[in-house]
């Protein structure tokens, strides 16, 4: 057999493998078309259900007055979580610019390889100081902090007792852990006690609640929760995303406001709301827990470090709150003044 013929004969099967068949191509197209139909149906279900979430395009910095694409003039903004107005505070912005110039745009690494700068450790130290806890660990978001905590802390011999209206990130984080799960009725201490009694055979028990519930704005009954936790030998965790920076006389959160800072064991919170509003979350608590999270918390181990500009902005925001209580206290004063004026206007119009 001539060499050219042999090569053509041997290469034919390879060409057939590399060349997609009409049948395979049709099957792939059919799968994509079917998926598209399914997705469009799901989207239409959201629209008809009245839960479609549109995105307004803001063309200015965040603040009480914003410019929105398609609207004339500025618009009053009542829906941001910029509780302290620090998202565009000149000192916060300048700190971010300085961090960008000195430390760069990002680390291109996770923390434990080559992604920890001195500013990360400084921010962690300041957050631990702010919350009066032993140590702190930073995450890309508080969603990640909640996703990374329970799986590390709780095993199959443990139990987690969660308020039924806790944030989605808490619910998802608890799903990742192997602990026995108990859900108590929203802010119902009697039901919590029932769950604590039912879980008494567990090795470690953790009561989990939002400090302030984001949808309705109601506040966890932390004193009662701590009383029950101590009575039944459980630990207490709170998510403080909607409290850090402005709840309590120094803005430390609901645990400070309700006088139980020394009775709440673990706090998760965010840098993406009152503390500059950029991004990032964190856990504060006992040092052995924080050390273990650095070793085993998957969102921490497998996510890039917080970018230096974000760290710079958040650090300056925390420094402002550590230096003075006036910013935190101003929120209550402004809230009452606004509420009184709105009430007076409503009465006068009525």
Strands 159-163 and 135-139: unpaired
We report the CATH number of the domain holding residue 124 as 3.40.640.10
User: 316: Cβ–Cβ under 8 A, 6 or more apart, which residues?
Assistant: 91, 92, 94, 95, 96, 276
Residue 259 to residue 227: CA distance in whole angstroms: 12
The helix or strand, by DSSP H or E, that contains position 321, with its residue range, turns out to be: helix 308-323
Residue 227 to residue 193: CA distance in whole angstroms: 10
Residue 182 forms part of a structural domain: yes
Q: What backbone torsions phi and psi does residue 314 show, to the nearest 5 degrees?
A: -65, -40
Q: Per residue of the chain (350 residues), what is the pLDDT tens digit?
A: 555 554 454 455 545 544 555 566 677 678 999 999 999 999 999 999 999 999 999 999 999 999 999 988 889 998 999 999 999 999 999 999 999 999 999 999 999 999 999 999 999 999 999 999 999 999 999 999 999 999 999 999 999 999 999 999 999 999 999 999 999 999 999 999 999 999 999 999 999 999 999 988 999 999 999 999 999 999 999 999 999 999 999 999 999 999 999 999 999 999 999 999 999 999 999 999 999 999 999 999 999 999 999 999 999 999 999 999 999 999 888 888 888 888 888 777 66
Structural domain boundaries, residue 136? 90-325
Report the pLDDT value the prediction gives residue 332, as an integer from 0 to 100. 85
Report the pLDDT value the prediction gives residue 181, as an integer from 0 to 100. 98
Residue 320 forms part of a structural domain: yes
Which residues participate in catalysis according to the annotation?
A: 214, 242, 273
CB 245 within 8 A of CB 118: no
Model pTM? 0.89
Domains of the chain: total: 1
Residue 197 forms part of a structural domain: yes
Report the pLDDT value the prediction gives residue 17, as an integer from 0 to 100. 46
Residue 225 to residue 258: CA distance in whole angstroms: 11
- Residue found by looking up tokens 């944030």 in the block: 167
Residue 229 to residue 225: CA distance in whole angstroms: 6
CA–centroid distance for 46 within its chain: 24
Residue 95 forms part of a structural domain: yes
Residue 278 forms part of a structural domain: yes
Residue 192 forms part of a structural domain: yes
- Cα 75 to Cα 65, 87, 339: the distances in Å are 5, 17, 19
CB 313 within 8 A of CB 95: yes
Residue 65 forms part of a structural domain: no
């Amino acid at each position: 057999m001539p060499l050219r013929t042999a090569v053509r004969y041997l290469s034919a099967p390879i060409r057939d493998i590399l060349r997609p068949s009409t049948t395979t191509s049709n099957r792939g197209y059919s799968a994509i078309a079917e998926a598209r139909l399914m997705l469009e149906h799901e989207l239409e279900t959201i629209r008809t259900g009245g839960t479609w979430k549109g995105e307004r395009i803001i063309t200015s910095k965040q603040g009480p007055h914003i410019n929105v694409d398609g609207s004339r003039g500025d618009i009053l903004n009542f829906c941001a979580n910029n509780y302290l107005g620090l998202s565009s505070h000149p000192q916060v912005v300048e700190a971010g610019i300085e961090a960008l110039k000195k430390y760069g745009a990002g680390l291109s690494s996770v923390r434990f390889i080559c992604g920890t700068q001195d500013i990360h450790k400084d921010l962690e130290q300041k957050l631990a100081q702010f919350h009066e806890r032993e140590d702190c660990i930073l995450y890309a978001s508080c969603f990640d902090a909640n996703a990374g905590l329970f799986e590390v802390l709780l095993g199959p011999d443990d139990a987690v007792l969660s308020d039924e209206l806790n944030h989605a990130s808490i619910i998802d984080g608890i799903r990742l852990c192997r602990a026995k799960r108990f859900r108590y009725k929203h802010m119902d201490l009697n039901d919590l006690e029932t769950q604590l009694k039912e879980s008494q055979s567990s090795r470690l028990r953790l009561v989990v609640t939002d400090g302030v519930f984001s949808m309705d704005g109601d506040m966890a009954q932390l004193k009662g929760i701590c009383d029950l936790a101590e009575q039944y030998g459980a630990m207490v965790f709170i998510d403080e995303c909607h409290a850090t920076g402005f709840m309590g006389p120094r803005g430390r959160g609901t645990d400070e406001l309700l006088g139980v800072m020394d009775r709440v064991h673990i706090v998760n919170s965010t840098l993406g709301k009152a503390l500059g509003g950029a991004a990032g979350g964190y856990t504060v608590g006992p040092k052995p827990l924080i050390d273990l999270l650095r070793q085993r918390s998957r969102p921490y181990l497998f996510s890039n470090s917080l970018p230096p500009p974000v760290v710079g902005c958040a650090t300056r925001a925390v420094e402002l709150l550590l230096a003075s209580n006036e910013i935190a206290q101003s929120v209550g004063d402004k809230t009452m003044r606004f509420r009184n004026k709105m009430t007076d206007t409503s009465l006068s119009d009525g």
